Amino acid sequence: MASKVTPISGFQEWLPTERIAELIVLDTIREVFELHGFASINTRAMEPVDRLTGQGEDADKEIYGVRRLAAGPDDTGDVSLGLHFDMTVPFARYVLENAGKLTFPFRRYQIQPAWRGERPQRGRYREFIQADVDIIDEGRLPDHFEGELLLVVADVFSRLPIGDYQIHVNDRKICEGFYLGLGIEDVTGTLRIVDKLDKIGADGVQKLLLDAGCTPKQTDQCLALAEIRSEDTGFVEQVRALGVQHELLDEGLAKLAAVIEVANEHAPGVVVADLRIARGLDYYTGTVYETMLTRDPGYGSICSGGRYDALATDGKRTFPGVGISIGVSRLLGKLITEEGLTASRETPVAVLVAVTDEDSRPESMRVATALRSRGIPTLVAPKATKFGKQIQFADRRGIPFVWFPGEDGDEVKDIRSGDQVPADRATWDPPAGDLRPSLVVPDVSSSGRKPNDRK
Amino acid sequence: MASKVTPISGFQEWLPTERIAELIVLDTIREVFELHGFASINTRAMEPVDRLTGQGEDADKEIYGVRRLAAGPDDTGDVSLGLHFDMTVPFARYVLENAGKLTFPFRRYQIQPAWRGERPQRGRYREFIQADVDIIDEGRLPDHFEGELLLVVADVFSRLPIGDYQIHVNDRKICEGFYLGLGIEDVTGTLRIVDKLDKIGADGVQKLLLDAGCTPKQTDQCLALAEIRSEDTGFVEQVRALGVQHELLDEGLAKLAAVIEVANEHAPGVVVADLRIARGLDYYTGTVYETMLTRDPGYGSICSGGRYDALATDGKRTFPGVGISIGVSRLLGKLITEEGLTASRETPVAVLVAVTDEDSRPESMRVATALRSRGIPTLVAPKATKFGKQIQFADRRGIPFVWFPGEDGDEVKDIRSGDQVPADRATWDPPAGDLRPSLVVPDVSSSGRKPNDRK
């Protein structure tokens, strides 16, 4: 064996118990995505480098280039490849490549790792899992999908113990229409400055806007817009009160109001219209989303996205879409690493079959085969040690039941209560809650996290 | 968008329907691995290059090196990293890194992509998924695990429509003991030559053995051993009949006989003792496995592995293990790409809720929420077109049911039979077979594959 064994900064690996917690979270996300009618796709880990860098943000992305070591330093025969840094670029490419074989509107989910070479920090990794849903159409995309995606996310989070959170929603058209109505011409530049509000504060934004040529009146109005928030459609009246008129503003307000109404009917209490949300990426053109944990908004968004009118185009056809991405690794960095979310055991095993002596191992294996055939994860004890030791073996792994094969009939022991009862290998089932490992949510008081009253 | 959109040779991507077939296969593998008591781990995609190349076979492996593009050509600050080419090297590293936190014997499964830069060919990809199970212990590993792993693989394949197959099993100790008993000193070199039997034939092997210094008598005996096969323990007598004596040979014969007996009790008809199986890798020390599809043995092994006594060691502690790897991408290259295995629909959706007009979309969304809350994958029609068009939308995607919300009660149509009946959104369930997409096995006659008589 070569170099010494050390973790690599920015590359998270879980121990078995934490990995089970991660799997439960991933399974839940996938289940909800499928319930909402999204089909899975998986794209290769690599894209041509020029496709990855064609996204305008390459400086941030810190792409990992990939190259066959055997190719040698002077071999330029292969296309230059890099690891994808998100699911959006590969998905856009996949849609273009397979457009003739897909049915639109195409709803897909994609749960895969991505890689960015940036400096690792809290909630930011060099290898991380994202769980994306997008709805993409050919030509025109109906507006109602922008509200529908919120329901998917709210449904996912209602099934996970993530604590209180809010999805902050805005519509780019509101900002654009408002700025245009104010007579500001550089809409994108203004958006970019206002987007820094959380980082540099109102004074900082004011200064940048004035520097960019806005009048004091325009500057005040931009800041006033960014301060508007409401959990219902009250934001419409607040914006109207600022007295700015523009067709695009009207359109944006109506769209956002529709999104908030749908959300409040199907997922009350989790969405807030927040007119400061802009999202850095240029390609968003309608609704934009960001999601914060109430107990720690500074941790950053755990789920973001928006509508884009032309993410993928081959010159002839254009594919508008709306998508949202759950930052699974970031979320678990908070829940598992910082707060101690874990699983009820370190193995899927529900039953350990004891082995009386090595000669009777075949009989213990027959018990295991019978239990497995009925869907019960089962392990045969690795050694025919004393029963006390075999029970200890189960206990150490969190396995709740130990099975004792007997000539006069089998018995099963719940090692938590100590109860041991006769049992038939052909019919016995563990209580439903013990069949699979489950999430163990850390004690509220010790971690400082707020109780999750949405369960 | 940058470069034109083209597939990259050796990187397989599926369309949604094929992807659903792949997911069903992956879910089945995972389910069986968990039923047999294996815990999931996931390792990072990258390892230090010197760890990857320290495996003795680097020339074959065609490692992909990874490097931050932003690092520039002269920046050597980072450890040199490469993408893993299997699950074994990262697993060995993981065990060493976490030995103090794992409980032994440690049973883990790992289902992840791996990458090799070799020339793509039939059944060989540059990016491919492997599904591995290993049992690793500290110090000494009991022999009985070598039979147990066969049951895991047989259980997986009994639930998948892969057609007839056989797992070929040997024990390295048989060959080693036999060669030593014959007076051959270079055991490893002899193994390597005999391993070429399938490629170069008996004449070729005979020549190489003679060239390597074997006597004609030794050569004949080596070839005679390699020709022995039996589906039961009959191989023991056939080996004995060759008249070679050695303690290691006795041990190997007893071990392999035990493995075959266990397999024949729990998974009759799928295992064959095949004394020509050697496996190229140096690190195997006991049982070795290879798995061939009966209808196309030349396609190569779809599931291989063996016992290793010292895969992972940190100098002080040694971790022996036994493992087996299902080549998922290779298997699906046969089943999906060559033979047309597919899924019953291109989406998880079981029910499309029709939309009468855009004003009643909220009511259709309420139906969808009610069905989803009971675990039924549901989609609301994207546009309020004529019902005939909405039914066509479902039909084109393989969605079996269309739901019509009505003021006097809802109705649901099975679009395959045309039957339309009143239905209650709070209680109606699709038939169990329609809830999720299922595998569709291609017609025997059109693909030339043999009927799968094992379900």
Strand runs (DSSP E) across B300-382, as ranges?
Answer: 303-313, 318-327, 342-343, 351-353, 378-380
Residue B454: pLDDT over 50? no
On whether the CB atoms of residues A325 and A305 are closer than 8 A, the answer is yes
**How far away is chain A from the Cα of B371, in angstroms, using its nearest Cα?**
9
Residue A184 is assigned to a structural domain of this protein: yes
On whether the CB atoms of residues A246 and A178 are closer than 8 A, the answer is yes
Known binding-site residues of B equal: 86-88, 116, 130, 134, 279, 283-284
My answer on whether A206 and A252 are in the same domain is yes
From chain A, pick out residues whose CB is under 8 angstroms from the CB of B398.
none
What contacts 24+ positions apart, CB below 8 Å, involve A244-251?
A244/A178, A244/A181, A244/A182, A245/A181, A246/A177, A246/A178, A246/A180, A246/A181, A247/A177, A248/A173, A248/A176, A248/A177, A248/A180, A249/A173, A249/A174, A249/A177, A249/A178, A249/A180, A249/A181, A250/A177, A251/A173, A251/A177
The partner residue sitting opposite B3, judged by closest CB among A13, A50, A82, is A50
Q: What is the per-residue pLDDT across A218-259, written as a single tens digit (0 to 9) for each? A: 999 999 999 999 999 999 999 999 999 999 999 999 999 999
My answer on whether B359 and B369 are in the same domain is yes
Alpha-carbon distance of B45 to B66, in angstroms, equals: 10
Alpha-carbon distance of A384 to A393, in angstroms, equals: 11
Alpha-carbon distance of B332 to A444, in angstroms, equals: 47
Residue B306 is assigned to a structural domain of this protein: no
Provide mean pLDDT across the span A414-424. Answer: 97
From chain A, pick out residues whose CB is under 8 angstroms from the CB of B117.
68-71
Report whether A279 belongs to an annotated binding site: yes
Flag whether residue B316 sits within 8 Å of chain A, measured between CB atoms. Answer: no
**How far away is chain A from the Cα of B31, in angstroms, using its nearest Cα?**
9
Flag whether residue A64 sits within 8 Å of chain B, measured between CB atoms. Answer: yes
Known binding-site residues of B for L-histidine equal: 86-88, 116, 130, 134, 279, 283-284
The answer to whether the Cβ–Cβ distance between A34 and B348 falls below 8 Å is yes
On whether the CB atoms of residues A314 and B5 are closer than 8 A, the answer is yes
Q: Which residues contact A444 (CB under 8 A, 6 or more apart)?
A: A450, A451
Flag whether residue A230 sits within 8 Å of chain B, measured between CB atoms. Answer: no
From chain A, pick out residues whose CB is under 8 angstroms from the CB of B347.
37, 39, 107
Q: Report the chain A residue with the minimal C-alpha distance to residue B114.
A: A45
My answer on whether B363 and B321 are in the same domain is no
B124: β partners? B121
Flag whether residue A372 sits within 8 Å of chain B, measured between CB atoms. Answer: yes
Of B114, B111, B59, give the one whose Cα is nearest residue B85: B114
Separation of CA B357 from chain center = 48
Name the band, by pLDDT with cuts 50, 70 and 90, for residue A6. confident
pLDDT reported for residue A2? 46
The answer to whether the Cβ–Cβ distance between A41 and B365 falls below 8 Å is no
Residue A1 is assigned to a structural domain of this protein: no
From chain A, pick out residues whose CB is under 8 angstroms from the CB of B148.
365, 380
My answer on whether B181 and B288 are in the same domain is yes
**Radius of gyration of chain B measured on its C-alpha atoms:** 27
Q: Quick one: what percent of chain B has pLDDT higher than 90?
A: 83
pLDDT reported for residue B429? 97
Alpha-carbon distance of B182 to A60, in angstroms, equals: 66
Query: Last residue of some domain: A258, A293, A328?
Result: A293
Q: What is the per-residue pLDDT across B325-334, written as a single tens digit (0 to 9) for each? A: 999 999 999 9
Residue B182 is assigned to a structural domain of this protein: yes
- CATH (domain of B389): 3.40.50.800
Residue A368 is assigned to a structural domain of this protein: yes
My answer on whether B79 and B180 are in the same domain is no
Quote the tokens at residue A215: 């009048």
**How far away is chain B from the Cα of A449, in angstroms, using its nearest Cα?**
27
Residue A448: pLDDT over 70? no
Provide mean pLDDT across the span B14-20. Answer: 98
> Residue B189, exposed/middle/buried by CB under 10 A (0-12, 13-18, 19+)?
middle
My answer on whether B222 and B281 are in the same domain is yes
Of A126, A129, A127, give the one whose Cα is nearest residue A110: A129
Which residue range is the domain that position B433 belongs to? 351-439
Residue B78 is assigned to a structural domain of this protein: yes
Amino acid at A271: V
My answer on whether A29 and A146 are in the same domain is yes
Flag whether residue A67 sits within 8 Å of chain B, measured between CB atoms. Answer: yes
Flag whether residue B48 sits within 8 Å of chain A, measured between CB atoms. Answer: yes
Q: Which residues contact B193 (CB under 8 A, 6 or more apart)?
A: B205, B208, B209, B212
Q: How many Cβ atoms from other residues are within 10 Å of residue A201's Cβ?
A: 11
Quote the tokens at residue A25: 């979270």
The partner residue sitting opposite B397, judged by closest CB among A49, A103, A383, is A103
Q: What is the per-residue pLDDT across B127-186, written as a single tens digit (0 to 9) for each? A: 999 999 999 999 999 999 999 999 999 999 999 999 999 999 999 999 999 999 999 999
My answer on whether B225 and B174 are in the same domain is yes
Residue B1 is assigned to a structural domain of this protein: no
Provide mean pLDDT across the span B95-120. Answer: 95
The answer to whether the Cβ–Cβ distance between B347 and A35 falls below 8 Å is no
Alpha-carbon distance of B161 to B438, in angstroms, equals: 12
My answer on whether B28 and B140 are in the same domain is yes
Q: Give the best residue of A67, A69, A328 to mutate against chain B (max B CB count within 10 A).
A: A69
Residue A134 is assigned to a structural domain of this protein: yes
DSSP-derived 3-state class of residue B161: coil
My answer on whether A176 and A236 are in the same domain is yes
Maximum CA pair distance of chain A? 92
My answer on whether B108 and B199 are in the same domain is no
Provide mean pLDDT across the span A26-45. Answer: 98
The answer to whether the Cβ–Cβ distance between B15 and A98 falls below 8 Å is yes
ipTM of the complex: 0.94
Residue B52: pLDDT over 50? yes
My answer on whether B158 and B168 are in the same domain is no
**How far away is chain A from the Cα of B287, in angstroms, using its nearest Cα?**
18
Alpha-carbon torsion (B170, B172, B173, B178), positive or negative: positive
The partner residue sitting opposite A68, judged by closest CB among B107, B113, B117, is B117
- CATH (domain of A199): 3.30.930.10
**How far away is chain A from the Cα of B206, in angstroms, using its nearest Cα?**
34
Of B251, B99, B112, give the one whose Cα is nearest residue B173: B251
Name the band, by pLDDT with cuts 50, 70 and 90, for residue B311. confident
Residue A419: pLDDT over 50? yes
Q: How many domains does chain A have?
A: 3
